[in-house]
Amino acid sequence: MQEIVQALRDVNATRYMTAVGLTVLLYDHVLTFCDEVRLVWRAPSSFPKYAFLFNRYLVPVCLLLVSYEMCGFVGEAFTDEGCRRLLFACSMLSLASVAVGNILVLMRVVILWDRRRAVMELMVAGFIVCFSAQSALMVISLVKFWPGLQWNSVAGMCITTTKTPFFSGVWAAPMFFEVLVLVSTVLNALDRPSQAALPITRSLHRDGITYFLAVTCFRVLNLTLSIVAQPSETMVVVFFIWGMTTTILNRSLLRMRKMELSYLEETEETEEMLGRSSPFGASDSVVIVDLDAPPHRSSRWLELNKMSNEF
């Protein structure tokens, strides 16, 4: 009897935590919608632009669907097979969401390093290895979860009665890529000390490190629960953390974009003032020069295009 009561408590905890994650995500979406229109919608067509919008709207739709299943007011709308299909769909979409988010972060890091080939190859290799491992572990976990996934009419939602250690690997795998992002960001700051004083540089470094620390805290929480929790506690914070990490990612990318455009606008105003008495006029891009660059390396550190071709 005690086990049943505890299981129902865990079910309610899962329901409420998912609702909290969805609420925070939607609230932040409303707060940043004007920035989204100004910084993203008006940008020229590009892969980063559509990848950002895809991930920004995919996660709320998925969490709304999960919340509908968990609300407890749908009666017998779901079956055991329906629960399995829902978990499979959400799992695959969550992998797509993680992949898109990591690709966008990867692109920001590569730009920070002035698109150096060695950095690009390292980041791409790290992403492929981590994402492949996460995908494989997710598929294995679903196979292990499959027999224990069922619709519980008492709880009014889908529950799982099984547990697998492979599920812990699903949360551990992306952490290695995030460590790579942190190390790359810190090394970039150390590699160019004279550029670290620039406002845009400080913002890029600060946001990169803040993103890593926040996301890592949530990943560790997910990893810990997947290791020590009972089967009924496996999903308690999964959807909550999905919503929170997406919120952090969206905030970080929009802030980085805003800083870049602000820097470009300030530079453009300066060039316009100089252009009135200068025969050279204004250029199409702004190049930040690395004063610490050794002779064998290009001194071009970061080039920002005024036409905003890259989000």
pLDDT in tens, 29-78: 999 999 999 889 988 888 989 999 999 999 999 999 999 888 877 766 77
Q: What is the predicted pLDDT for the residue at 210?
A: 77
User: What is the signed CA dihedral for 70, 97, 126, 129, rounded to 10 degrees?
Assistant: 60
pLDDT in tens, 139-184: 999 999 988 888 888 888 888 888 888 998 999 999 899 889 888 8
Q: What is the predicted pLDDT for the residue at 192?
A: 62
Query: How far apart are alpha carbons 148 and 243 in whole angstroms?
Result: 25
pLDDT in tens, 198-214: 555 566 666 667 777 88
Tell me the average pLDDT across 216-226.
86
Portion of the chain with pLDDT greater than 90, in percent = 32
* CB distance 162 to 209 below 8 Å: no
Token pair 């390292």 in the structure block, residue? 122
Average pLDDT of the chain to the nearest whole number: 79
What's the sign of the alpha-carbon dihedral 151, 154, 156, 159?
negative
Q: What is the predicted pLDDT for the residue at 26?
A: 96
Q: What is the predicted pLDDT for the residue at 92?
A: 95
Top-level class of domain 2-264: mainly alpha
pTM of the model: 0.80
Q: What is the predicted pLDDT for the residue at 20?
A: 94
Q: What is the predicted pLDDT for the residue at 71?
A: 81
Reduce the DSSP state of residue 163 to 3 states and report it.
coil
pLDDT in tens, 245-268: 999 999 888 888 887 777 666 665
Q: What is the predicted pLDDT for the residue at 299?
A: 43
